[in-house]
Every structure is written in structure tokens, then in C-alpha cells.
Structure 1
Amino acid sequence: MEENWHALDKDSVISLLKTDQFAGLSAHEFQSRLAALGYNELVEKQKTPLWKMLLTQFQDFMVLVLLGATLVSAFLGEYSDAVTIMAIVVVNAILGFVQEYRAEKSLEALKQLTAPFSRVIRGGIEQKVPARELVPGDIIVIEAGDRLPADGRLIEAVNLEIEEAALTGESVPVRKTADRVYTWDTGLGDQKNMVFVGTSVTRGRGIAVLTATGMGTEMGRIAGMIQAAEEQDTPLQRRLDQLGKYLVWGCLGVCGVVVLTGIVRGESIFLMAMSGISLAVA
């Protein structure tokens, strides 16, 4: 259930999440929610195999043209030209591969922001559990030095300050409060009654009821957008690709004219064909 939790008072949040401020969830209720909602972790889509990622670097039109030029140069005995062109193709492929590989690692960087363990109140007992075993409705205890394991609504805050640079870009720790209620359209950085996964407590202590875990958190939404984003060529890249095709076809046209002109003038067909190929490669 997705709500504007920051726009509700803490009692309403606790009521909607069907939990208890002091006792937390029962063991049975926790197991039921865990089975229904899954673990508190970022879900990663199937990775692109490294070999496939590398192979895609050779599918560009101009790269295929250069590979063809390499073969023709080698066939004509112009080995220095063939080596030079191949070196250009390989360097271009390596750069593209490294860029895509780093993009694939972006989700892993987000995962490193999550806390490994958390203190939670269940059945009236405070206990330390793996952060992946948290569910909405859990009551967590936080203090200076802790990293937030999920998103939550504060129900108690004592001199609590949280550094949220990883999420909002705000370089100064934010003073939090449990008693304020904000309008539904309040921005993420101004929701001072909320805590978010991946942020760190720099001062004070507090208690929060978890409102979202895993891919339902703000960090989870970011991870989802990263994985759903499709790579698109920029307008400049599209124009350069189009220009490259024009140049290739124009070059082939000029070479064809040269070959035909030589043949008309009585030159050897084989000689003119080799001259046209050499000119195209050049």
C-alpha cells in the first residue's frame, strides 16, 4: 500500500500499517508479511553477459565498414593499414565496453548503501536482525552511526539528525522530527518526519515504523528507473551515424565512377577493380 506517509500523523500511520508502537509486529505477522512482500533488498534484473556486451560494440554501421576495410587491406597486402584500422576498432570497442560495464555496476553501488543489520522491536522484544528480513510495519530503533535499512515514518526523535546526501544531494545533515505533519506535495528533502534507506544517522536517536522495503523504497524506485532506462542515441549521434552512411555510399559511388571511367578508357578491368578497392579503403 502506497501512501503519503509524511502527510499523516504517527498514530494514523501505525493504524494503517496494523502494527504496535511499543510491541511491534508479532512473529506470525512478520512471517506473513515477509511471505507476501518478499525480502528487503533491491531486485536486480538479469545481467547482460560480458561476451554479449562486448559483441554489441561491433554492431555499429561504421564499425562494420572499418572491419570490411581491414579485411580488404589485408587482402591487398596493405598490412600496416589493416593493423591501424583494427587498432582503432579495438580501442573503440574497449571504451564502449568499459562504459556499459560501469553502468551495469550502478545497482551494485546502490546496494552498498543499504545497512547489513538493524535493531527491530518484535513481540515487545528489541533484537538485532539482518536488514533484508524487515517488512513494512516493523518498528526499528536508530541512533548515531546507524545506516537506515528501509524507508519509515518517525514516531520518536531525540536530537535526531540524518545525512541524506546519497538521496537528496543535501550536504548538511537534516534535523528530524516525529511530530510534524506535512502537505502531500512536500518534496523528499523537506519530509523531516521521514527516514530513507541508504541515509546515515549523524546525531541523536529515534524510533520509526517502516513504511516501505526493497523496491518500494525511494532508493528502490531509483534502482528500478536505472534498470528500466533504455539506452538511446543522442541527436548528435544519430546525425553522425547518418552522415557516416552518406560518406560511405558517396565514397563507393566515387570509386565506382573511377573504375568505370578507367574501363571505358581501355584500362584492364582487374587493374581498375584493384584501384577502386584501394581507393575505397584509403
Structure 2
Amino acid sequence: LNAAIGFVQEYRAERAMAALKAMAAPTATVLRDGATAVIPAADLVPGDVVLLEAGRIVPADLRLLEAARLRVEEAALTGESVPAEKTPAPLPAEGLPVGDRTNMAYKGTTVAYGRGRGVVVATGMQTEFGRIAASLQQAEEVKTPLQRRLTRFGKNLSFAVLAICGVVFVAGLARGEPPLPIFLVAVSLAVAAIPESLPAVVTISLALGARKLVAKQALVRRLPAVETLGSVTYICSDKTGTLTLNRMRVEAYYCDGVIRRAPEAGGPWDELLLALALSNDAGQGPTGATVGDPTEVALVAAAREAGVDRAKLERRFPRVAELPFDSERKCMTTVHRDPAGGFVAFTKGAVEAVLACARDVRPPLLAVAERMATDGLRVLAVAVRRWRELPGPIDPETLERDLILLGFVGLMDPPRDEAREAVTMCGAAGIVPVMITGDHALTARAVARRLGIVDGDGAAVITGPELAALSSEAFEERVTQTRVYARVAPEQKLRIVTTLQDQGQIVAMTGGGVNDAPALKRADIGV
């Protein structure tokens, strides 16, 4: 009965989990002998030149040779919400975190935008994906508190039973009892003292608990985890997609000299919203939803929420020219025919890049942008210039100069509404929440502050490079005091969980990315 109940419960869970696992690049487009060919990804070898385009999964670790507006979705590997911009330029230093290696594309990530070409430098278990798989195999599963207590109880019970049986056997001999009968009495006593039904009782109890959890949409893979949930003292959580929505959203606006959480109406605000809607390459999918780069989608959504109808504006202001975004200029420009006469050009991009092309830039503007960035926002500047005639030639030197700044928009992947309540409940239950992410430190601190994981701006955040420089002894002293880790690698997440366990903590780990897998396996509870 014990074996049957355990097998049925865990078999169902494994089947459900197997249905959720799928991340592979079955084919790759390569350049061999001067010709383009599509081959199975498993046939790639180091030195092959692979062609990348939007929507394709990167089939191996690549050193980029060309990158045309290339952006790669690396959230599963690094935890970043925004697709990473890629360039073939050499890196400024060695030993950078995966998220900062802008001239590399990694196996299992997805091309979100643009196209590129790269040479294969690693395949299979030599890739970053493979390294995570290797550490997953090396990560040891720990026994649950219930398993440890049952093991200890079994040992103590065995010693007690053997001692009592020995006393009974010796006492019988001392009374002159025949050795064989008194030996059988002692053995019978030992057999009677063993609680044979205990495993079945424990299994049935855990199965009932697992059934209740299923009703709350929690799938239990291993029955002992049911009891471990009640013993957790630390819960380590990934940020992207777990604590946050994994969807960019405009959180702040700066226009007409003020910062607002929502846009106002009239004057320069209307022109800012016009720019957000028109200077945008997001499209409409088959279902009617806006699709494209997450940042572009967020800007369109912000304009729509403010009452701006993009479709109508595109008919009134048809696009006649554009300068696509590139990583050197760090901005993009679109030119539209103005129904009032002439042409209007909107430019948006990195704050420094746009301000360098603008006129009448006041010093406080940089301070405003820095203040917004300190709140964990990704800040974009938006500017405009009007023309009587279509300028020529259509190049950055012509279009992107003497701009008039309209304002800034600040975007971030916002926390889930239910996440703050969950953090509060953890604190009330005596569970310490810890955020572990591959994202930037400023973003991690801002999200942790909004969720209540840390208080104030001065809360300590340990980054991946800082963690790598800490000795085991130094980290053991700081691990129980640190609530936020940023820019960490998968093996460092594993180190954090292991160090907490070494100090006697019962650790739960939550996360949905490939980079969370080793820590999920090592933790007492993996969610």
C-alpha cells in the first residue's frame, strides 16, 4: 500500500512536469562551403557559422561576427526582463557575467529582434546551458526534515529495542529459563516493538496533504515535500517572472518639468504620447495583441491607456522615412507626414544619446534621469523636430540634430500584485524572503523595496562579482544578513542555497528559469 500510493502520486507529478519541459533548437541555419543549409542542431561543431533571425532559438554558444539590430531574449539564462542588445565588438574586460557578454549568443535563448551571424564556440555540455545541466547533475538532493527525523527515530528505536531484548534474554537465563524459548521471546518482543505500519501511515498522511495542495493548484512531485513546507525558514526567489510580471510597463513620465506616475493631458504631454505611439515598431499579432520588442509593446500600451488610438494616428501621420535603432547611436528616429503641413520626426533612445542631439538642454535634466534610474527604471528620452520639407539625405547627421526634448519615460518589469502580500505573509510566518536574480543591482533593489523585502535605499545588495570574491568564511557571516543578490550566475545561486543549509536553515527556492535549476534541486523545497 505504501509503495502503491507513493508511486501513483509521484508518477502523476512526473507526467505533468514532463509535459512542461521543452527547450531545444531542433535545427540551425549554417553557412558551409559558401552555401546556406539547414541542419539538425545536434550536428553543429565548433567553427560552424550560424545565421540568426528573429524568432529562432540559438542552437549553440556563438561568438557574434555580425549583428544588425540584434536583440536576444536571455531571461531564462540571466533573469533580465528586457532582450539583450548584441554587438560583435570585443568585450571591455574578461570574466564578465553572462548578461554582460554582449558579443555572445547562448544556446537555448531566443532571438527577439533583428538578425546576426556567429561562429560556434561551444556545443552540448560545453555550452552555458550544458554547464547548468552539469551542475544540476552534481547538485545533491538533501533529505527533508521529516526524513531526517524518521531516520533518527528509527536508529534510536532500534537501539532501544535491542537493549530491551538483551535485558529480557539475560533476565530469562538468570531465572533458569531454557535458552531457546527465552531467545524466541526476545525476538518476538523485538518484532512487536517495530511499528511496521508507520511508513504506510506517514505516506497516507502526506498523500492527503498533497491532495489538498493540488486543490490550491500546487503540484507535489515528492511526497516528503508536503511536510517540509511547514518547516521552511528561508525562501529564495528569482525575480523575473516569479516576483514580477516578466512584462515591461511604463511606470513614470517626465514632461513639462514634472514627474508623474500617469501622463497628463494637453500641451507637451499630448506630443509625448504621440511620439510613443508613432515612433514604434511594435505590430499586431493574429489575435489582435500587440507584439514585438517588450519595450516597444510597453510604450504602445502606455499610449493606449492614455486614450491614444495608434491606428488612427498612423493614418493621419503616415511614416515616410526612418532610421532604425542601432547599438552605436543608441536611438531610433521615424519621420511622418504632418496633416498640418510639413513633416515631423520623433527620436527616442538612451538619455545620453538623445540629449547630445538636443538643443537648449538644461543641467537638471540629467539629474532627473538619474533619479528615475535610481528607482530601478529603464529611462528613455523622447525628442521631436519639425521640417517644412522632407530632409535629405535620411541619415543621423541630418535628422538627429537640433532636437527639442519632449520628456523621459521610465519602464520596468513591475512586481506582481500578489507578490507583496506573499512577502508580508512570509514575514508573519517567520520565513525570511531573499531575492536572487541575474538582473542589475539597481533594478533588483528597487523591486525588493517595492515588495517589502528590504527597507530603504541603503539596503545591502551583493552582486555576482562581489560574491565570487568572498571566501566561504566571509560569506557565511553575511549570508543571513543579505536579502538581495543581483547579477549572479547559476552556480552562485546554488552556493547561496547550500550556505544557508549549512547554517541549519530549511530553504525553499522558487524560480522558472534554466539558471534556477541547480538551486531548485539542491533546496529543501523547489518550486
**Partner of 1:183: helix, strand, or coil?**
coil
- Shift in CA distance, 225/247, structure 1 to aligned 2, threshold 3 Å: same
State the partner residue of 2:78: 168
State the partner residue of 2:57: 147
Q: Out of 150, 173, 194, which is 1:281 matched to? A: 194
Looking at structure 2, the residues matched to 280 and 89 of structure 1 have their Cα atoms a distance apart, in angstroms, of: 22
Equivalent residues of 2:165, 2:186 under 8 A apart: no
Looking at structure 1, the residues matched to 62 and 191 of structure 2 have their Cα atoms a distance apart, in angstroms, of: 69
Equivalent residues of 2:168, 2:186 under 8 A apart: no
**Partner of 2:76: helix, strand, or coil?**
helix
Equivalent residues of 1:259, 1:276 under 8 A apart: no
**Partner of 2:39: helix, strand, or coil?**
strand
Q: CA deviation at 1:252?
A: 2.2
> What residue identity is the alignment partner of 2:45?
V
State the partner residue of 1:130: 40
- Shift in CA distance, 202/91, structure 1 to aligned 2, threshold 3 Å: same
| Unmatched runs of 5 consecutive residues or more in structure 1 | 1-86
Q: CA deviation at 1:255?
A: 3.5
Q: CA deviation at 1:152?
A: 0.7
State the partner residue of 2:472: none
Equivalent residues of 1:263, 1:272 under 8 A apart: no
Looking at structure 1, the residues matched to 160 and 3 of structure 2 have their Cα atoms a distance apart, in angstroms, of: 22
> What residue identity is the alignment partner of 1:178?
P
- Shift in CA distance, 189/95, structure 1 to aligned 2, threshold 3 Å: farther
Q: CA deviation at 1:267?
A: 8.0
Structure 2 residue 108 is the aligned partner of structure 1 residue 186? no
State the partner residue of 1:250: 160
- Shift in CA distance, 125/274, structure 1 to aligned 2, threshold 3 Å: closer
State the partner residue of 2:115: 205
Higher helix share: 1
The percent of aligned pairs where both chains have the same amino acid is: 44
**Partner of 1:245: helix, strand, or coil?**
helix
Equivalent residues of 2:66, 2:87 under 8 A apart: yes
CA deviations on 1:181-240 (whole Å, 9 max, x unpaired) are: 231111111111100000001111111111112222111222233334556668996676
Looking at structure 2, the residues matched to 227 and 278 of structure 1 have their Cα atoms a distance apart, in angstroms, of: 40
State the partner residue of 2:483: none
**Partner of 2:154: helix, strand, or coil?**
helix
TM-score w.r.t. structure 1 length? Answer: 0.54
Looking at structure 1, the residues matched to 185 and 144 of structure 2 have their Cα atoms a distance apart, in angstroms, of: 41
After TM superposition, the structure 1 = structure 2 runs for residues 28-107 of structure 1, keeping only pairs within 5 Å, are 87-88=1-2, 91=5, 94=7
Relative contact order, higher structure (CA 8 A, sep 6+): 1
- Shift in CA distance, 265/96, structure 1 to aligned 2, threshold 3 Å: farther
Equivalent residues of 1:148, 1:200 under 8 A apart: yes
Equivalent residues of 1:159, 1:203 under 8 A apart: yes
Looking at structure 2, the residues matched to 234 and 275 of structure 1 have their Cα atoms a distance apart, in angstroms, of: 32
Q: CA deviation at 1:140?
A: 1.2
Q: Out of 139, 153, 158, which is 2:68 matched to? A: 158
State the partner residue of 2:24: 114
State the partner residue of 1:12: none
Deviates further, 154-163 or 177-186: 177-186
Equivalent residues of 1:147, 1:198 under 8 A apart: yes
Equivalent residues of 1:113, 1:198 under 8 A apart: yes
Q: Out of 211, 217, 236, which is 2:127 matched to? A: 217
Looking at structure 1, the residues matched to 168 and 8 of structure 2 have their Cα atoms a distance apart, in angstroms, of: 37
Higher strand share: 2
